[in-house]
Amino acid sequence: MNAQQVEDLTSFMEAVVRRNPGEPEFHQAVHEVAMDIIPYLADKPLYRDMMVLERMTEPDRIISFRVVWQDDHGGVQVNRGYRVQQNNAIGPYKGGLRFHPTVTQSVLKFLAFEQVFKNSLTGLPLGGGKGGSDFDPKGKSDLEVMRFCQAFMTELSKHVGPDTDVPAGDTGVGAREVGYLFGQYKRLVNRFEGVLTGKALEFGGSRIRAEATGYGVVYMMQDMLAHHHESIDGRTCVVSGSGNVATYCAEKLIQLGGKVVTLSDSSGYIHDPEGLTLEKLQWVMELKNKRRGRIEEYAREYGVEYHAGEHPWGVPCDLAFPCATQNEIDGAEARTLIENGCRAVAEGANMPTTPDAIKVLRASPGLLHAPSKAANAGGVAVSGLEMSQNSLRMQWSREEVDKHLREIIASIHAQCVEFGTASDGHVDYFKGANIAGFNKVASAMLAYGVM
Ligand SMILES: NC(=O)C1=CN([C@@H]2O[C@H](COP(=O)(O)OP(=O)(O)OC[C@H]3O[C@@H](n4cnc5c(N)ncnc54)[C@H](O)[C@@H]3O)[C@@H](O)[C@H]2O)C=CC1
Ligand SMILES: O=C(O)CCC(=O)C(=O)O
Protein backbone atom coordinates (compact mmCIF):
# COMPACT_ATOMS: atom_id res chain seq x y z
CA MET A 1 0.00 0.00 0.00
CA ASN A 2 1.35 3.47 -0.82
CA ALA A 3 1.02 6.47 1.52
CA GLN A 4 -2.21 7.69 -0.14
CA GLN A 5 -3.82 4.26 0.20
CA VAL A 6 -2.82 4.04 3.88
CA GLU A 7 -4.43 7.46 4.42
CA ASP A 8 -7.59 6.37 2.53
CA LEU A 9 -7.80 3.18 4.61
CA THR A 10 -7.37 5.11 7.85
CA SER A 11 -10.08 7.66 7.06
CA PHE A 12 -12.42 4.94 5.75
CA MET A 13 -12.00 2.93 8.98
CA GLU A 14 -12.42 6.03 11.16
CA ALA A 15 -15.80 6.60 9.51
CA VAL A 16 -16.79 2.93 9.98
CA VAL A 17 -15.88 3.07 13.69
CA ARG A 18 -17.72 6.38 14.13
CA ARG A 19 -20.91 5.03 12.53
CA ASN A 20 -20.73 1.70 14.38
CA PRO A 21 -19.48 2.44 17.90
CA GLY A 22 -18.76 -0.44 20.28
CA GLU A 23 -18.73 -3.09 17.54
CA PRO A 24 -15.15 -4.44 17.51
CA GLU A 25 -15.90 -7.67 15.61
CA PHE A 26 -17.61 -5.71 12.84
CA HIS A 27 -14.71 -3.24 12.63
CA GLN A 28 -12.27 -6.16 12.40
CA ALA A 29 -14.15 -7.86 9.55
CA VAL A 30 -14.48 -4.61 7.58
CA HIS A 31 -10.82 -3.73 8.09
CA GLU A 32 -9.71 -7.12 6.83
CA VAL A 33 -11.63 -6.54 3.59
CA ALA A 34 -10.83 -2.84 3.20
CA MET A 35 -7.06 -3.55 3.39
CA ASP A 36 -7.36 -5.33 0.04
CA ILE A 37 -10.23 -3.43 -1.59
CA ILE A 38 -9.00 0.15 -1.05
CA PRO A 39 -5.74 -0.42 -2.99
CA TYR A 40 -7.72 -2.39 -5.61
CA LEU A 41 -10.01 0.60 -6.15
CA ALA A 42 -7.09 3.02 -6.59
CA ASP A 43 -7.55 3.04 -10.39
CA LYS A 44 -11.35 2.61 -10.32
CA PRO A 45 -12.75 6.11 -9.70
CA LEU A 46 -16.32 5.09 -10.57
CA TYR A 47 -16.45 2.62 -7.66
CA ARG A 48 -15.05 5.28 -5.33
CA ASP A 49 -17.35 8.06 -6.55
CA MET A 50 -20.35 5.77 -6.21
CA MET A 51 -19.27 4.93 -2.61
CA VAL A 52 -19.66 1.20 -3.26
CA LEU A 53 -17.54 -0.02 -0.34
CA GLU A 54 -19.17 2.50 2.01
CA ARG A 55 -22.61 1.21 0.95
CA MET A 56 -21.52 -2.39 1.37
CA THR A 57 -20.56 -1.77 5.01
CA GLU A 58 -24.02 -0.42 5.82
CA PRO A 59 -26.58 -3.24 6.29
CA ASP A 60 -29.77 -2.89 4.25
CA ARG A 61 -31.56 -3.30 7.59
CA ILE A 62 -31.23 -4.84 11.04
CA ILE A 63 -34.25 -6.36 12.72
CA SER A 64 -34.02 -6.75 16.49
CA PHE A 65 -36.80 -8.26 18.57
CA ARG A 66 -37.84 -9.63 21.95
CA VAL A 67 -38.13 -13.40 22.30
CA VAL A 68 -40.18 -14.53 25.29
CA TRP A 69 -40.55 -18.20 26.18
CA GLN A 70 -41.33 -20.38 29.16
CA ASP A 71 -38.78 -22.73 30.75
CA ASP A 72 -39.58 -26.19 32.14
CA HIS A 73 -40.35 -24.74 35.58
CA GLY A 74 -42.94 -22.29 34.23
CA GLY A 75 -40.52 -19.33 34.55
CA VAL A 76 -40.67 -16.63 31.90
CA GLN A 77 -37.39 -16.08 30.00
CA VAL A 78 -36.49 -13.11 27.83
CA ASN A 79 -33.89 -13.15 25.05
CA ARG A 80 -33.06 -10.87 22.15
CA GLY A 81 -33.34 -12.04 18.54
CA TYR A 82 -31.80 -10.43 15.45
CA ARG A 83 -31.68 -10.68 11.70
CA VAL A 84 -29.06 -8.59 9.91
CA GLN A 85 -30.07 -8.25 6.25
CA GLN A 86 -26.77 -7.01 4.91
CA ASN A 87 -26.98 -6.97 1.11
CA ASN A 88 -29.33 -8.50 -1.48
CA ALA A 89 -27.67 -7.14 -4.64
CA ILE A 90 -27.15 -10.59 -6.14
CA GLY A 91 -29.88 -12.68 -4.52
CA PRO A 92 -32.11 -13.13 -1.46
CA TYR A 93 -30.40 -12.60 1.91
CA LYS A 94 -28.79 -15.88 2.91
CA GLY A 95 -26.88 -16.89 6.02
CA GLY A 96 -27.16 -18.82 9.25
CA LEU A 97 -28.70 -18.27 12.66
CA ARG A 98 -26.44 -18.45 15.71
CA PHE A 99 -27.76 -19.24 19.19
CA HIS A 100 -24.99 -18.54 21.71
CA PRO A 101 -24.65 -16.33 24.80
CA THR A 102 -21.88 -14.32 23.08
CA VAL A 103 -24.22 -13.17 20.28
CA THR A 104 -24.35 -9.39 19.96
CA GLN A 105 -25.27 -7.05 17.12
CA SER A 106 -21.54 -6.59 16.44
CA VAL A 107 -20.95 -10.34 16.07
CA LEU A 108 -23.91 -10.74 13.72
CA LYS A 109 -22.89 -7.70 11.66
CA PHE A 110 -19.39 -9.11 11.18
CA LEU A 111 -20.86 -12.46 10.14
CA ALA A 112 -23.41 -10.86 7.77
CA PHE A 113 -20.72 -8.67 6.17
CA GLU A 114 -18.44 -11.69 5.59
CA GLN A 115 -21.39 -13.65 4.24
CA VAL A 116 -21.90 -11.17 1.39
CA PHE A 117 -18.40 -11.86 0.01
CA LYS A 118 -18.55 -15.60 0.69
CA ASN A 119 -21.89 -16.03 -1.03
CA SER A 120 -20.66 -14.05 -4.03
CA LEU A 121 -17.64 -16.38 -4.31
CA THR A 122 -19.92 -19.43 -4.61
CA GLY A 123 -21.16 -18.13 -7.99
CA LEU A 124 -24.75 -18.74 -6.87
CA PRO A 125 -27.45 -16.03 -6.70
CA LEU A 126 -27.21 -15.47 -2.93
CA GLY A 127 -27.17 -12.18 -1.00
CA GLY A 128 -25.80 -12.00 2.53
CA GLY A 129 -27.41 -11.97 5.97
CA LYS A 130 -27.03 -13.48 9.41
CA GLY A 131 -29.12 -13.69 12.55
CA GLY A 132 -29.50 -15.33 15.89
CA SER A 133 -29.95 -14.77 19.56
CA ASP A 134 -28.09 -14.64 22.87
CA PHE A 135 -30.11 -17.74 23.87
CA ASP A 136 -27.80 -20.50 25.18
CA PRO A 137 -29.00 -23.99 24.15
CA LYS A 138 -26.40 -25.57 26.45
CA GLY A 139 -28.13 -27.32 29.37
CA LYS A 140 -31.65 -26.69 28.01
CA SER A 141 -34.14 -29.53 27.56
CA ASP A 142 -35.47 -30.40 24.09
CA LEU A 143 -38.81 -28.86 25.04
CA GLU A 144 -37.18 -25.61 26.14
CA VAL A 145 -35.26 -25.42 22.86
CA MET A 146 -38.51 -26.09 20.98
CA ARG A 147 -40.40 -23.35 22.83
CA PHE A 148 -37.55 -20.90 22.24
CA CYS A 149 -37.37 -21.71 18.51
CA GLN A 150 -41.14 -21.32 18.13
CA ALA A 151 -41.09 -17.94 19.89
CA PHE A 152 -38.10 -16.81 17.80
CA MET A 153 -39.74 -17.81 14.51
CA THR A 154 -43.04 -16.17 15.47
CA GLU A 155 -41.35 -12.79 14.92
CA LEU A 156 -38.72 -13.82 12.33
CA SER A 157 -41.41 -15.23 10.01
CA LYS A 158 -42.55 -11.65 9.26
CA HIS A 159 -39.18 -10.81 7.72
CA VAL A 160 -38.10 -13.93 5.78
CA GLY A 161 -39.35 -15.93 2.80
CA PRO A 162 -37.98 -18.16 0.04
CA ASP A 163 -37.32 -15.17 -2.26
CA THR A 164 -36.59 -12.64 0.48
CA ASP A 165 -34.33 -14.09 3.13
CA VAL A 166 -33.44 -17.74 3.71
CA PRO A 167 -31.77 -18.48 7.08
CA ALA A 168 -29.96 -21.72 8.01
CA GLY A 169 -27.95 -23.15 10.91
CA ASP A 170 -24.73 -21.90 12.50
CA THR A 171 -23.26 -22.31 16.00
CA GLY A 172 -25.94 -23.70 18.32
CA VAL A 173 -28.43 -24.19 15.46
CA GLY A 174 -28.35 -27.69 14.00
CA ALA A 175 -30.85 -30.18 12.62
CA ARG A 176 -33.01 -30.14 15.79
CA GLU A 177 -33.37 -26.35 15.86
CA VAL A 178 -33.96 -26.07 12.07
CA GLY A 179 -36.78 -28.62 12.45
CA TYR A 180 -38.49 -26.59 15.18
CA LEU A 181 -38.00 -23.32 13.28
CA PHE A 182 -39.30 -24.70 9.98
CA GLY A 183 -42.30 -26.34 11.65
CA GLN A 184 -43.31 -23.06 13.26
CA TYR A 185 -42.86 -21.08 10.01
CA LYS A 186 -45.01 -23.57 8.12
CA ARG A 187 -47.70 -23.38 10.79
CA LEU A 188 -47.73 -19.56 10.77
CA VAL A 189 -47.82 -18.94 7.01
CA ASN A 190 -49.68 -22.12 6.02
CA ARG A 191 -47.29 -22.74 3.13
CA PHE A 192 -44.66 -25.43 2.64
CA GLU A 193 -41.78 -23.53 1.08
CA GLY A 194 -37.98 -23.41 1.20
CA VAL A 195 -37.59 -20.67 3.78
CA LEU A 196 -34.77 -22.40 5.66
CA THR A 197 -31.91 -24.61 4.56
CA GLY A 198 -30.26 -27.38 6.51
CA LYS A 199 -33.65 -29.09 6.74
CA ALA A 200 -33.89 -32.83 7.31
CA LEU A 201 -34.22 -34.95 4.15
CA GLU A 202 -37.85 -35.82 5.00
CA PHE A 203 -39.01 -32.22 4.64
CA GLY A 204 -37.01 -30.69 1.81
CA GLY A 205 -33.39 -30.91 2.95
CA SER A 206 -30.46 -31.54 0.66
CA ARG A 207 -28.12 -34.49 0.82
CA ILE A 208 -24.57 -33.44 1.90
CA ARG A 209 -25.75 -30.16 3.51
CA ALA A 210 -24.75 -31.39 6.97
CA GLU A 211 -21.31 -32.42 5.68
CA ALA A 212 -20.82 -29.53 3.25
CA THR A 213 -18.98 -26.93 5.32
CA GLY A 214 -16.45 -29.38 6.78
CA TYR A 215 -15.96 -31.22 3.49
CA GLY A 216 -15.58 -27.91 1.65
CA VAL A 217 -12.82 -26.77 4.03
CA VAL A 218 -10.88 -29.95 3.22
CA TYR A 219 -11.52 -29.60 -0.53
CA MET A 220 -10.09 -26.07 -0.31
CA MET A 221 -7.02 -27.42 1.48
CA GLN A 222 -6.71 -30.14 -1.18
CA ASP A 223 -6.78 -27.50 -3.93
CA MET A 224 -4.24 -25.24 -2.22
CA LEU A 225 -1.86 -28.17 -1.74
CA ALA A 226 -2.45 -29.52 -5.26
CA HIS A 227 -1.52 -26.07 -6.63
CA HIS A 228 1.91 -26.84 -5.10
CA HIS A 229 1.91 -30.53 -6.13
CA GLU A 230 1.25 -31.72 -2.56
CA SER A 231 -1.58 -33.67 -0.91
CA ILE A 232 -3.29 -34.32 2.44
CA ASP A 233 -2.30 -37.99 2.57
CA GLY A 234 -0.03 -38.71 5.56
CA ARG A 235 -0.17 -35.14 6.93
CA THR A 236 -0.80 -34.50 10.63
CA CYS A 237 -3.85 -32.30 11.11
CA VAL A 238 -4.91 -30.22 14.09
CA VAL A 239 -8.65 -29.46 14.15
CA SER A 240 -10.41 -27.25 16.72
CA GLY A 241 -14.09 -27.51 17.61
CA SER A 242 -16.23 -30.63 17.76
CA GLY A 243 -19.44 -29.37 16.20
CA ASN A 244 -20.82 -29.61 12.68
CA VAL A 245 -17.88 -28.07 10.83
CA ALA A 246 -15.11 -29.70 12.88
CA THR A 247 -16.48 -33.24 12.78
CA TYR A 248 -17.16 -33.33 9.03
CA CYS A 249 -13.80 -31.64 8.38
CA ALA A 250 -12.17 -34.43 10.42
CA GLU A 251 -14.21 -37.09 8.58
CA LYS A 252 -13.07 -35.94 5.13
CA LEU A 253 -9.46 -35.58 6.31
CA ILE A 254 -9.45 -39.16 7.60
CA GLN A 255 -11.00 -40.39 4.32
CA LEU A 256 -8.18 -38.67 2.42
CA GLY A 257 -5.41 -40.17 4.59
CA GLY A 258 -4.87 -37.25 6.98
CA LYS A 259 -4.06 -37.96 10.62
CA VAL A 260 -6.40 -35.90 12.83
CA VAL A 261 -4.89 -35.59 16.31
CA THR A 262 -7.07 -33.02 18.10
CA LEU A 263 -10.64 -31.83 18.63
CA SER A 264 -11.85 -29.23 21.14
CA ASP A 265 -14.78 -27.43 22.69
CA SER A 266 -15.06 -24.24 24.71
CA SER A 267 -13.66 -26.07 27.80
CA GLY A 268 -10.45 -27.55 26.31
CA TYR A 269 -8.97 -29.95 23.75
CA ILE A 270 -8.17 -33.64 23.44
CA HIS A 271 -4.90 -34.88 21.93
CA ASP A 272 -5.00 -38.33 20.34
CA PRO A 273 -1.48 -38.93 18.96
CA GLU A 274 -2.55 -42.16 17.21
CA GLY A 275 -5.11 -40.16 15.23
CA LEU A 276 -8.91 -40.31 15.21
CA THR A 277 -10.59 -43.09 13.24
CA LEU A 278 -14.02 -42.93 11.59
CA GLU A 279 -15.34 -45.07 14.47
CA LYS A 280 -14.00 -42.67 17.11
CA LEU A 281 -15.50 -39.79 15.14
CA GLN A 282 -18.90 -41.49 15.14
CA TRP A 283 -18.61 -41.68 18.92
CA VAL A 284 -17.87 -37.90 19.04
CA MET A 285 -20.89 -37.12 16.83
CA GLU A 286 -23.12 -39.17 19.10
CA LEU A 287 -21.61 -37.42 22.15
CA LYS A 288 -22.15 -33.93 20.71
CA ASN A 289 -25.41 -34.30 18.76
CA LYS A 290 -27.35 -36.73 20.96
CA ARG A 291 -25.93 -36.83 24.47
CA ARG A 292 -24.78 -33.19 24.19
CA GLY A 293 -21.72 -33.90 26.38
CA ARG A 294 -18.24 -32.39 26.63
CA ILE A 295 -15.18 -33.38 24.56
CA GLU A 296 -13.36 -34.20 27.81
CA GLU A 297 -15.31 -37.48 27.82
CA TYR A 298 -13.34 -38.58 24.72
CA ALA A 299 -10.13 -38.53 26.79
CA ARG A 300 -11.67 -40.89 29.34
CA GLU A 301 -13.21 -43.15 26.66
CA TYR A 302 -10.00 -43.55 24.61
CA GLY A 303 -7.32 -42.97 27.28
CA VAL A 304 -5.73 -39.87 25.74
CA GLU A 305 -4.72 -36.47 27.14
CA TYR A 306 -7.22 -33.70 27.81
CA HIS A 307 -5.97 -30.11 28.15
CA ALA A 308 -8.51 -28.04 30.06
CA GLY A 309 -8.91 -24.38 29.13
CA GLU A 310 -6.42 -24.55 26.23
CA HIS A 311 -6.47 -24.31 22.44
CA PRO A 312 -4.83 -27.08 20.38
CA TRP A 313 -2.44 -24.81 18.39
CA GLY A 314 0.64 -25.92 20.38
CA VAL A 315 0.34 -29.48 19.04
CA PRO A 316 2.83 -29.92 16.16
CA CYS A 317 1.07 -30.31 12.82
CA ASP A 318 1.38 -29.96 9.06
CA LEU A 319 -2.14 -28.63 8.52
CA ALA A 320 -4.34 -26.55 10.84
CA PHE A 321 -8.13 -26.27 10.69
CA PRO A 322 -9.69 -23.76 13.11
CA CYS A 323 -13.36 -24.87 13.13
CA ALA A 324 -14.74 -23.55 16.45
CA THR A 325 -15.25 -19.79 16.63
CA GLN A 326 -13.97 -16.29 15.84
CA ASN A 327 -10.54 -15.08 17.02
CA GLU A 328 -9.46 -18.51 18.26
CA ILE A 329 -5.86 -18.15 16.92
CA ASP A 330 -3.94 -15.12 18.18
CA GLY A 331 -0.52 -13.82 17.12
CA ALA A 332 1.43 -15.94 19.62
CA GLU A 333 -0.48 -19.10 18.64
CA ALA A 334 0.16 -18.35 14.95
CA ARG A 335 3.89 -18.05 15.71
CA THR A 336 3.79 -21.42 17.52
CA LEU A 337 2.12 -23.04 14.51
CA ILE A 338 4.89 -21.75 12.25
CA GLU A 339 7.70 -22.75 14.64
CA ASN A 340 6.23 -26.26 14.70
CA GLY A 341 6.43 -26.46 10.90
CA CYS A 342 2.78 -25.89 9.92
CA ARG A 343 2.44 -25.82 6.12
CA ALA A 344 -1.12 -24.57 5.67
CA VAL A 345 -4.19 -23.24 7.47
CA ALA A 346 -7.78 -23.53 6.16
CA GLU A 347 -10.38 -21.63 8.17
CA GLY A 348 -13.57 -23.57 8.94
CA ALA A 349 -14.90 -21.12 11.53
CA ASN A 350 -15.75 -17.57 10.54
CA MET A 351 -12.84 -15.14 11.16
CA PRO A 352 -10.96 -17.53 13.48
CA THR A 353 -7.63 -15.66 13.19
CA THR A 354 -7.02 -12.31 14.91
CA PRO A 355 -5.49 -9.46 12.87
CA ASP A 356 -2.14 -10.18 14.61
CA ALA A 357 -2.35 -13.84 13.65
CA ILE A 358 -3.11 -12.96 10.02
CA LYS A 359 -0.07 -10.66 9.98
CA VAL A 360 2.16 -13.42 11.38
CA LEU A 361 0.85 -16.07 8.97
CA ARG A 362 1.06 -13.70 5.96
CA ALA A 363 4.70 -12.93 6.83
CA SER A 364 5.67 -16.62 6.87
CA PRO A 365 7.17 -17.37 3.43
CA GLY A 366 5.23 -19.97 1.51
CA LEU A 367 2.62 -20.70 4.19
CA LEU A 368 -0.78 -21.31 2.61
CA HIS A 369 -3.72 -19.67 4.39
CA ALA A 370 -7.32 -19.83 3.14
CA PRO A 371 -9.66 -17.28 4.76
CA SER A 372 -13.04 -18.41 6.02
CA LYS A 373 -15.00 -16.63 3.30
CA ALA A 374 -13.33 -18.94 0.76
CA ALA A 375 -12.63 -22.08 2.80
CA ASN A 376 -15.99 -22.51 4.54
CA ALA A 377 -18.21 -21.45 1.62
CA GLY A 378 -19.18 -25.07 0.95
CA GLY A 379 -21.96 -24.93 3.56
CA VAL A 380 -23.78 -21.99 2.09
CA ALA A 381 -23.09 -23.32 -1.42
CA VAL A 382 -25.00 -26.52 -0.67
CA SER A 383 -27.67 -24.38 1.01
CA GLY A 384 -27.97 -22.63 -2.37
CA LEU A 385 -28.33 -26.05 -3.98
CA GLU A 386 -31.00 -26.93 -1.40
CA MET A 387 -32.92 -23.82 -2.50
CA SER A 388 -32.60 -24.92 -6.14
CA GLN A 389 -33.87 -28.41 -5.29
CA ASN A 390 -36.81 -26.92 -3.32
CA SER A 391 -37.74 -24.73 -6.32
CA LEU A 392 -37.55 -27.74 -8.62
CA ARG A 393 -39.46 -29.91 -6.10
CA MET A 394 -36.64 -32.45 -6.41
CA GLN A 395 -33.92 -34.07 -4.33
CA TRP A 396 -30.58 -34.86 -5.92
CA SER A 397 -28.34 -37.82 -5.06
CA ARG A 398 -25.37 -37.61 -2.70
CA GLU A 399 -23.00 -37.98 -5.65
CA GLU A 400 -24.61 -35.17 -7.59
CA VAL A 401 -24.56 -32.69 -4.70
CA ASP A 402 -20.97 -33.60 -3.76
CA LYS A 403 -19.90 -33.13 -7.39
CA HIS A 404 -21.41 -29.61 -7.44
CA LEU A 405 -19.75 -28.85 -4.09
CA ARG A 406 -16.38 -30.04 -5.36
CA GLU A 407 -16.70 -27.87 -8.49
CA ILE A 408 -17.79 -24.79 -6.52
CA ILE A 409 -14.79 -25.04 -4.19
CA ALA A 410 -12.46 -25.55 -7.18
CA SER A 411 -13.92 -22.40 -8.74
CA ILE A 412 -13.42 -20.44 -5.49
CA HIS A 413 -9.81 -21.63 -5.41
CA ALA A 414 -9.35 -20.54 -9.02
CA GLN A 415 -10.82 -17.08 -8.26
CA CYS A 416 -8.39 -16.69 -5.32
CA VAL A 417 -5.49 -17.61 -7.60
CA GLU A 418 -6.69 -15.20 -10.30
CA PHE A 419 -6.96 -12.18 -8.01
CA GLY A 420 -4.40 -13.08 -5.34
CA THR A 421 -1.27 -14.24 -7.17
CA ALA A 422 1.76 -11.99 -6.65
CA SER A 423 4.58 -11.52 -9.18
CA ASP A 424 6.69 -14.16 -7.35
CA GLY A 425 3.87 -16.70 -7.77
CA HIS A 426 2.77 -16.68 -4.11
CA VAL A 427 -1.01 -16.74 -3.73
CA ASP A 428 -2.47 -14.34 -1.16
CA TYR A 429 -5.79 -16.15 -0.65
CA PHE A 430 -7.17 -13.33 1.53
CA LYS A 431 -6.60 -10.74 -1.17
CA GLY A 432 -7.91 -13.05 -3.90
CA ALA A 433 -11.09 -13.91 -2.02
CA ASN A 434 -11.80 -10.31 -1.01
CA ILE A 435 -11.41 -8.93 -4.53
CA ALA A 436 -13.26 -11.75 -6.31
CA GLY A 437 -16.12 -11.63 -3.77
CA PHE A 438 -16.33 -7.84 -4.04
CA ASN A 439 -16.40 -7.62 -7.85
CA LYS A 440 -19.72 -9.36 -8.50
CA VAL A 441 -21.64 -7.57 -5.74
CA ALA A 442 -20.12 -4.19 -6.65
CA SER A 443 -21.06 -4.54 -10.34
CA ALA A 444 -24.64 -5.40 -9.42
CA MET A 445 -24.85 -2.42 -7.08
CA LEU A 446 -23.53 -0.09 -9.79
CA ALA A 447 -26.13 -1.43 -12.22
CA TYR A 448 -28.93 -0.47 -9.81
CA GLY A 449 -27.82 3.19 -9.65
CA VAL A 450 -27.91 5.21 -6.45
CA MET A 451 -29.78 3.34 -3.70
N1 LIG B 1 -22.60 -24.86 10.23
C2 LIG B 1 -22.23 -24.33 9.08
O3 LIG B 1 -22.68 -24.74 8.00
C4 LIG B 1 -21.22 -23.24 9.05
C5 LIG B 1 -20.54 -22.83 10.18
N6 LIG B 1 -19.54 -21.91 10.07
C7 LIG B 1 -18.78 -21.48 11.24
O8 LIG B 1 -18.09 -22.57 11.82
C9 LIG B 1 -17.93 -22.37 13.23
C10 LIG B 1 -18.50 -23.56 13.98
O11 LIG B 1 -19.87 -23.68 13.65
P12 LIG B 1 -20.67 -25.06 13.77
O13 LIG B 1 -19.73 -26.19 13.71
O14 LIG B 1 -21.79 -24.98 12.84
O15 LIG B 1 -21.26 -24.90 15.23
P16 LIG B 1 -21.61 -26.03 16.30
O17 LIG B 1 -22.53 -25.39 17.24
O18 LIG B 1 -22.01 -27.29 15.62
O19 LIG B 1 -20.20 -26.26 16.97
C20 LIG B 1 -19.46 -25.22 17.51
C21 LIG B 1 -18.20 -25.80 18.10
O22 LIG B 1 -17.33 -24.73 18.52
C23 LIG B 1 -17.06 -24.88 19.89
N24 LIG B 1 -16.98 -23.55 20.47
C25 LIG B 1 -17.97 -22.64 20.53
N26 LIG B 1 -17.51 -21.54 21.16
C27 LIG B 1 -16.23 -21.79 21.47
C28 LIG B 1 -15.23 -21.07 22.13
N29 LIG B 1 -15.49 -19.84 22.61
N30 LIG B 1 -14.01 -21.63 22.27
C31 LIG B 1 -13.76 -22.89 21.77
N32 LIG B 1 -14.69 -23.62 21.17
C33 LIG B 1 -15.89 -23.09 21.03
C34 LIG B 1 -18.21 -25.66 20.46
O35 LIG B 1 -17.87 -26.31 21.63
C36 LIG B 1 -18.49 -26.63 19.32
O37 LIG B 1 -17.61 -27.69 19.35
C38 LIG B 1 -18.60 -21.03 13.52
O39 LIG B 1 -17.63 -20.01 13.40
C40 LIG B 1 -19.60 -20.89 12.37
O41 LIG B 1 -19.94 -19.54 12.11
C42 LIG B 1 -19.18 -21.40 8.87
C43 LIG B 1 -19.82 -21.76 7.72
C44 LIG B 1 -20.97 -22.63 7.74
O1 LIG C 1 -26.08 -22.26 4.82
C2 LIG C 1 -26.28 -21.11 5.08
O3 LIG C 1 -27.14 -20.41 4.58
C4 LIG C 1 -25.49 -20.43 6.17
C5 LIG C 1 -24.06 -20.76 6.23
C6 LIG C 1 -23.40 -19.80 7.17
O7 LIG C 1 -24.00 -19.31 8.10
C8 LIG C 1 -22.02 -19.42 6.93
O9 LIG C 1 -21.54 -19.64 5.83
O10 LIG C 1 -21.40 -18.86 7.84
Query: Which ligand 2 atom sits nearest the alpha carbon of residue 377?
Result: 9
In the chain, the amino acid numbered 38 is I
Q: Does the annotation place 88 within a ligand binding site?
A: no
The rounded Å distance from CA 269 to ligand 1 centre is 14
With contact defined as beta carbons under 8 Å apart, do 343 and 235 qualify? yes
Q: Which long-range contacts (CB under 8 A, 24 or more apart) does 232-237 make?
A: 232/256, 232/257, 232/258, 232/319, 233/257, 233/258, 234/258, 234/259, 235/259, 235/317, 235/318, 235/319, 235/343, 236/261, 236/316, 236/317, 236/318, 236/319, 237/261, 237/317, 237/318, 237/319, 237/320, 237/321
- Nearest ligand, CA of residue 295? 1
Q: In tens digits, what is the pLDDT along the chain, a chain of 451 residues? A: 999 999 999 999 999 999 999 999 999 999 999 999 999 999 999 999 999 999 999 999 999 999 999 999 999 999 999 999 999 999 999 999 999 999 999 999 999 999 999 999 999 999 999 999 999 999 999 999 999 999 999 999 999 999 999 999 999 999 999 999 999 999 999 999 999 999 999 999 999 999 999 999 999 999 999 999 999 999 999 999 999 999 999 999 999 999 999 999 999 999 999 999 999 999 999 999 999 999 999 999 999 999 999 999 999 999 999 999 999 999 999 999 999 999 999 999 999 999 999 999 999 999 999 999 999 999 999 999 999 999 999 999 999 999 999 999 999 999 999 999 999 999 999 999 999 999 999 999 999 999 9
Residue 130 appears among annotated catalytic residues? yes
Residue nearest ligand 1's atom 38 by CA: 349
| CB distance 205 to ligand 2 below 6 Å | no
Query: Which ligand 1 atom sits nearest the alpha carbon of residue 98?
Result: 41
The rounded Å distance from CA 410 to ligand 1 centre is 24
Q: Does the annotation place 169 within a ligand binding site?
A: yes
Q: Within 13 Å, how many C-alpha atoms sit on residue 141's CB side? A: 7
The rounded Å distance from CA 350 to ligand 1 centre is 8
Residue nearest ligand 2's atom 3 by CA: 95
pLDDT of residue 133: 98
pLDDT of residue 19: 98
Phi and psi angles of residue 405, each rounded to the nearest 5 degrees, phi first: -60, -45
Q: What is the ipTM of this complex?
A: 0.98
Query: Which ligand 2 atom sits nearest the alpha carbon of residue 94?
Result: 3
With contact defined as beta carbons under 8 Å apart, do 80 and 65 qualify? yes
Residues belonging to the chain: 451
The rounded Å distance from CA 68 to ligand 1 centre is 25
Q: Does the annotation place 293 within a ligand binding site?
A: no
Which residues are bridge partners to 87 per DSSP? 128
Task: Report the b/e string of 137-148 with b at 16+ CB within 10 A.
Answer: beebeeebbbbb
Spell out which residues line ligand 1, taking CB within 6 angstroms.
169-172, 174, 213, 241-246, 264-266, 323-325, 348-350, 376, 379
pLDDT of residue 77: 98
d(CA 169, CA 31): 26
Query: Which ligand 2 atom sits nearest the alpha carbon of residue 98?
Result: 7
Q: What is the pTM of this model?
A: 0.97
| CB distance 383 to ligand 2 below 6 Å | yes
Structural domains of the chain ordered from first start? 3-56 (no CATH), 61-192 (3.40.50.10860), 210-375 (3.40.50.720)
Annotated catalytic residue within 44, 109, 130, 280: 130
